[in-house]
Amino acid sequence: METMKQYIEDAEKALLHTYNRYQVVLDKGDGVYLYDIEGKKYLDFCAGIAVFALGYNNKKYNDALKAQIDKLIHTSNYYYNVPAIEAAKKIKKVSGMDRVFFTNSGAEAVEGAIKAARKYAYLKDGTTDHEIIAMEHSFHGRTMGALSVTGNPKYREAFEPMIGNIRFAKMNDFESVLSQVTDKTCAILFETVQGEGGIYPASEEFLKKVRALCDERDILLILDEIQCGMGRTGFMYAWQKYGVKPDIMTTAKALGCGVPVGAFLMTEKVGENSLQSGDHGTTYGGNPLAAAAINIVLDLFEENHIIDNVNQVGAYLTEKLDKLALKYDFITERRGIGLIQGLVFDRPVGEIITKALDKGLILINAGTNIIRFVPPLIISKENVDEMIDILDSCLN
């Protein structure tokens, strides 16, 4: 068997160099722990970037996927399949939305949301020069449409020109949004809690004012819940905390708990007045295997009272991170809700994350100076204590 070093050398020769990877080859997982190929154990506070909500090696999840693999993996969207129909009903129920389109990823869900908004506007006036307002510091994905509404120039500049007619406003600054609105604005798009951009939750006041503006001018409100959704804030979707319902919503990551799935959902009004037969499609989206993952995930969320756990352990994590922030002058702020949290430092955090990895704790950053905490949603208070002990020892 090859050593960790040999595997990493093989990877560096074969894979495209688009990631600066940590020098670890992961092999298996159990609960909230991961193990590398040498058997070293790691407490995981990253969850595959907010994906593995149910933790690793969940028997019911594994068995459901194995059963579907033995039955049928793929057919295409020219035919119906039972898992996708069941998944659509379940996701409608937990989201309160009316129409679902299954995708393979979050970025694809954002692409679909953009197309739906543009088609909605096109059907109203027959023109194609409509504008979308997105937020500075946002992150919506790496494909060209999703990148066009990502509010960080460094991600976009090498790939210009992007899709046109995108304007950027400041998150939680309603006047900034208002100043960007024209008679061509067809949608306002933002993450209910910005993830990659630094763990910035939208304020209730901001959400309500933007919703009222959209209602007044028949502009669509698109909320990106790819990272902050699926129970992570203590509500199935973060907007439910404020009762501000979007016209279109995107979801992914924990929706499949590791199987690549996403979706964009919309109200009946948008569904009837936007994408029609032939306007949008996907070969793999909503196939029986992907839909089986969604079904078992939503079943286990309910069965295991995942959201109750997020509210209890999220409050405990908040309290522990606040204490840590008070202890060290170089930690300037804690931000977040539930189990999507960030500690803001007055310096880069790369070295701290590497030290933590050496000590058996997996963390990730959000920008250069923020440590992001997006653990599996099954974590316990004991897991929080273990994480805090390791992180504290790294900060010392």
Question: Looking at the structure, do residues 244 and 316 belong to the same domain, yes or no?
Answer: no
Please report the pLDDT score of residue 2 as a whole number.
86
The pLDDT assigned to 104 comes to 97
Query: Which helix (H) or strand (E) is 376 found in, with range?
Result: none
Pair 44, 109 in one domain: no
Question: Please, what is the average pLDDT of the chain?
Answer: 97
Last residue of a domain, one of 303, 338, 370: 303
CATH number of the domain that 134 lies in? 3.40.640.10
194/241 same-domain check: yes
Question: Which pairs count as long-range contacts for 266-274, CB under 8 Å and 24+ apart, including other chains?
Answer: 266/97, 266/98, 266/99, 266/116, 267/97, 267/98, 267/99, 268/98, 268/99, 270/99, 270/116, 270/120, 270/220, 271/98, 271/99, 273/120, 273/123, 273/124, 274/116, 274/117, 274/119, 274/120, 274/123
Q: CA 83 to CA 219: how far, in whole Å? A: 34
266 and 130 both lie in a single domain: yes
Domain count, the chain: 2
> What would the two tokens of residue 303 be?
């069965």
| Residues 354 and 375 placed together within one structural domain of the fold | yes
Instruction: Give the per-residue pLDDT at 1.
Output: 72
Same structural domain for residues 111 and 141? yes
- Please state the pTM of the whole predicted model: 0.97
The residue range of the domain holding 131 is: 60-303
**CA-to-CA distance for 131 and 140, rounded, in angstroms?**
17
Same domain, 200 and 257: yes
Smallest Cα–Cα separation from 380: which of 58, 62, 59, 55?
Answer: 55
Closest CA to 215 of 239, 238, 246: 246
Among candidate residues 216, 207, 197, the one with its CA nearest the CA of residue 172: 207
- Residues 6 or more apart whose CB falls under 8 angstroms from that of 274 comprise 116, 117, 119, 120, 123, 266
The domain boundary, picked from 248, 279, 303, lies at 303
CATH of the domain at 382: 3.90.1150.10
Output the six-digit token pair for 217: 């001018």
Q: Let me know whether 160 and 240 are in one domain.
A: yes
Specify the pairing of strand 340-345 against strand 220-224: unpaired
Give every residue of the chain whose pLDDT is below 70, as ranges: none
